[in-house]
Amino acid sequence: MNEHLDGFHHAGLLTRDLDTLEKRYESLGFTLSPRSRHLLAAEPGKPPVPGCTANRCAVFGDSYIELLGIVDDAAPDPWHTRAMAAEYEGFRLLNLETGDADAADARLREIGLTTSGVLDLERAVDTASGPRTLRARAVHVDPRATPEGYLGVAQHLTREYVHQPRYLGHENGARGIGAVLIVADPAVFDTVVDRYARISGRPADQEGPLALVDVGGARLEIVRSGDAEALLPGEPAPSGSYLAAMTIRVADVYRAREVVDNAAIATRTTPDGFFVSARDAFGAGLFFTG
């Protein structure tokens, strides 16, 4: 096992219409943190500069869903978010959590991945004690090696400013991200599975059509695109390989479904709960389970 990974840090949805995205996730029953603009470093050791993005987050204590929006096209774009949006918007980002960004970066390089090095991130946040500066460190894997999405590892330096108790209660009872489902083109399926197994430091398991990789306690589910229809019937496929869905653990599936139904958002029954289409959740299919 890779001792430098501690599960999911966050999963990110990217849009140029943050207003509509945040309204939809509030309708789905998520409590969102206030909007916050990013300060981003372009290179290791460089000071963060104001970027073109802002976010709101649904936080769960151990992980969060980031709703990331391009809000100022005239601002610098040191993390190349506009190029990402030009490909397609939706579920584009997955960051694994680490307590040591330098060690995690070294591990990624050891297994043959090209990285950005350790970059600094800041953003202003409101807290119960007044304004504070959230700080984090992140490592980006070269996206040319990860056709399914933009992969990184991230380290909280001020976790308490992200996972504030006042934002942890959600109308839908959400408690965390249980899994992320990746659809892989058959031509790269084995490569994708092998990459996450090397990142994890343990072999993948098989469960029907799914390859399962435990990455520091986080469950990655990887399926060939040819087998995805059985899991995601009628769902859009924005690319040959892509981040397709996440599993949201909730306190009460029936209560969560009532919240979503009351918002007039379509749901589909699954063996463990219910599903909201990526068409209705800005590019990320959502499995709600108990």
The tens digit of pLDDT for each residue in 64-99 reads 999 999 999 999 999 999 999 999 999 999 999 999
Both 41 and 163 in one domain: the answer is yes
Both 30 and 50 in one domain: the answer is yes
- Report the alpha-carbon distance of residue 115 to residue 109 in Å, rounded: 7
Is the per-residue pLDDT at 3 higher than 80? Answer: no
**Virtual torsion, Cα 195, 197, 198, 202, nearest 10 deg:** 180
Any alpha helices (H) in 8-48, and if so which ranges? 18-27
Is the per-residue pLDDT at 2 higher than 80? Answer: no
Write phi, then psi, for 98 (nearest 5 degrees): -140, 150
DSSP label at residue 143 = G
Domain boundary among 149, 167, 185: 167
- Report the alpha-carbon distance of residue 96 to residue 176 in Å, rounded: 14
Both 252 and 118 in one domain: the answer is no
- Report the alpha-carbon distance of residue 243 to residue 180 in Å, rounded: 8
Domain boundary among 167, 195, 218: 167
Both 52 and 72 in one domain: the answer is yes
Q: What type of residue is 78?
A: P
188 in Cβ contact with 196 (< 8 Å):
no
- Report the alpha-carbon distance of residue 149 to residue 238 in Å, rounded: 11
Residue 93's pLDDT is 98
Average pLDDT of span 216-240: 95
- What digits encode the pLDDT tens for the residues 20-78? 999 999 999 999 999 999 999 899 999 999 999 999 999 999 999 999 999 999 999 99
- Report the alpha-carbon distance of residue 5 to residue 111 in Å, rounded: 15
Both 147 and 204 in one domain: the answer is no
Residue 288's pLDDT is 98
Both 179 and 282 in one domain: the answer is yes
- Distances, alpha carbon 68 to alpha carbons 18, 105, 253, in Å: 7, 24, 27
Please give the structure tokens belonging to residue 41: 């470093």
Both 123 and 212 in one domain: the answer is no
Both 190 and 248 in one domain: the answer is yes
Domain boundary among 167, 194, 226: 167
Helices first, then strands: H and E counts in the chain: 7, 16
Q: How crowded is the C-beta side of 217, counted as CA atoms within 13 Å?
A: 13
Q: How many residues does the chain have?
A: 290
- Report the alpha-carbon distance of residue 33 to residue 216 in Å, rounded: 26
- Report the alpha-carbon distance of residue 9 to residue 217 in Å, rounded: 11
Closest Cα partner for 97 from 176, 159, 156, 28? 156
Residue 60's pLDDT is 97
**pLDDT-derived band of residue 218, with 50, 70 and 90 as boundaries?**
confident
154 in Cβ contact with 98 (< 8 Å):
yes
Return all residues near 98 (Cβ < 8 A) that are at least 6 apart: 4, 5, 6, 9, 104, 153, 154, 155
Both 195 and 245 in one domain: the answer is yes
Residue 176's pLDDT is 96
DSSP label at residue 146 = -
Both 212 and 73 in one domain: the answer is no
Q: Which residue has the tokens 């990455």?
A: 215
Both 99 and 190 in one domain: the answer is no
What domain count does the chain have?
A: 2
- Report the alpha-carbon distance of residue 90 to residue 85 in Å, rounded: 8
Q: What type of residue is 215?
A: V
Output the domain CATH number for residue 206.
Answer: 3.10.180.10
Dmax over CA atoms of the chain, in Å, equals 52
- What digits encode the pLDDT tens for the residues 106-131? 999 999 999 999 999 999 899 998 99
Both 26 and 68 in one domain: the answer is yes
Identify the domain containing residue 265 by its residue range: 174-289
Q: What is the pTM of this model?
A: 0.95
